[in-house]
Structure 1
Amino acid sequence: MRIIDAHVHLYPAEANRDPAGWARAQGEPDWAGLCTRRRKNGGAVQSFPSTDELLREMDRAGVARAVLLGWYWAKPETCAWQNRFYAECGRAHPDRLSAFATVQPGAGRAAVLTELRRATEEGLVGIGELSPHAQAHTMADDGFGAVLEFAAERRLPVTLHVTDPNSRDYPGRVETPLEDFAALAQARSSVNFILAHWGGLLPLRDASAARLSNVYYDSAASPLMYDDSIWRRFLAVVPAERVLFGSDFPLNVYPKLERVPGMVRLLDEAKSAGVPDTVMGGNVTRLLGL
């Protein structure tokens, strides 16, 4: 089985050296609030590995390839900065790393299209992780429409951040009404959407959403929200062909069990649940043409 982690984040060295200080200087306080906070026990919510450290963790876990997702940044300049870094990662490790481009749709149609054209020319293979609700625009805005038109034209999947409405509160949490995603997928049937974090359990709450053939779901950050029965419960409703394994590394998804984030424990959880090979790598291979 060729395992592909469809939801990984990575940042350049200048952010890793002092994440909070970097975020203040760049005007990205929402990212800092989510990524640099500490848990009640003092442990860091996530680590900030280098590219080499990510590759070593992939080797340890037996992950053949990782898909690097961008962040839903406040500023278009930060999006471009991360996209250039991801292009470098892909050129350096074409056999191990693929990457999605991120944009700030609030920058407007022209700016969005310019950045997406450049990113795809540099080898990026999808769009996201985006969050209209966190990036202060609506799904009806022209800039977001440009994203979806580009995605449809180039056949690029779009990963969107989704919050379970029943999940616990935490610093930086953003409400993402689930009905927005169902309506979007119906209106934009030519776009393949990946709804992160099990899509906030959208298809378990709305049976019609489970029938949307252009909507995929990833398992990113699963243990922070659900016990290991989620694999069985979700796959009983959504066809396995539309579920992707994603870890959300380097987020520590087992803070009570591990001091350092890793991929191994979540992979073992999925394997113990009998998750089919399509979920563990086949689906994202097909979706991205890897």
Structure 2
Amino acid sequence: MKVDSSKIESIHWANALKWAQETLICKDIFNTLCSDAVQMRNRLSTIRDGVLLVSLYNDYLLRVELKYHPFKEGELIEEGCPYLNRSLREMMVAQECTRWVRPQTFVSLPLTNLSEALDARGPKAFTAREIESRAYKPQFLLEKLITVASHYSLVKMARETLEEFMSSTRDPQVHWRWLRCSPISSQFMVIMTNRNFDYVVGKVTYYIRVTADSVSLISKDGHTMDCYRDPHQLMYALKYMACTFSVTSISTLGKVMWFYQLLHANMNATDEHGRPAPTLYMLNPDATMEVFIRFGIDQNPLIQVRKFQGATK
């Protein structure tokens, strides 16, 4: 930030103090990030003209820029993502306020009558290597920022994919809500129901787990489908779960309400192109008609009805 020297006397001290504090904090944060970028060897980064670019994942880059604005009365200008700006300041303050090395102190040990096998002193004490391996090691500020930014980007991608799936899916009805939300790990709850038949079929719950590295879909049976960082793969997994829910709900409706007999329900069936397409095969109570239904991804269900020979119309 910059200020005209001729207007210094006209600036109120409270606003000037806030402006100066903001300037120093931003400079310290940017210098720390640049120093961490030089020391980190597992991330590709570049620094030029007050701009730091760091490889996030895939084709995404994290851009951190130190900008100077002329001082004006009122609130300070904030650019970029407000959430990441606030998180970066919190991590910087926490890092500066953390004492990484515990001061040495002498503690008098009480008398003990334990056996030598249970005594942790002397030859049974931890070695220097064991103490170092158990010690908490400080983490680069840039590494923490990369973790939070990656998780924030993946959460945004998962939410947009869920909203797109809800808008494009009419049957079954899809609802979702937050189950857990933290800076590095979040979880969505996806609920599928059949309107007007939920008292018969009930609802099925799935979970979307988002970390700083990948997105995964967890079924009701506990099976995990890794979607990595691909929104198309997450959409594909959601559509497949909708197909399996349709098989379960229709078979339950047929047995409970119309007393159809279920011959088979194959969740692992595929179509002619090798894509997942769960199938359902049912028989009416009089054993005069059979119904075959195939639920494909990105296509309408295929329904085939066949009457047995000799059956009356």
Scaled to the shorter chain, the TM-score interval is: under 0.3
The structure with the greater share of residues assigned to helix is: 1
The structure with the greater share of residues assigned to strand is: 2
Bigger Rg, which one: 2
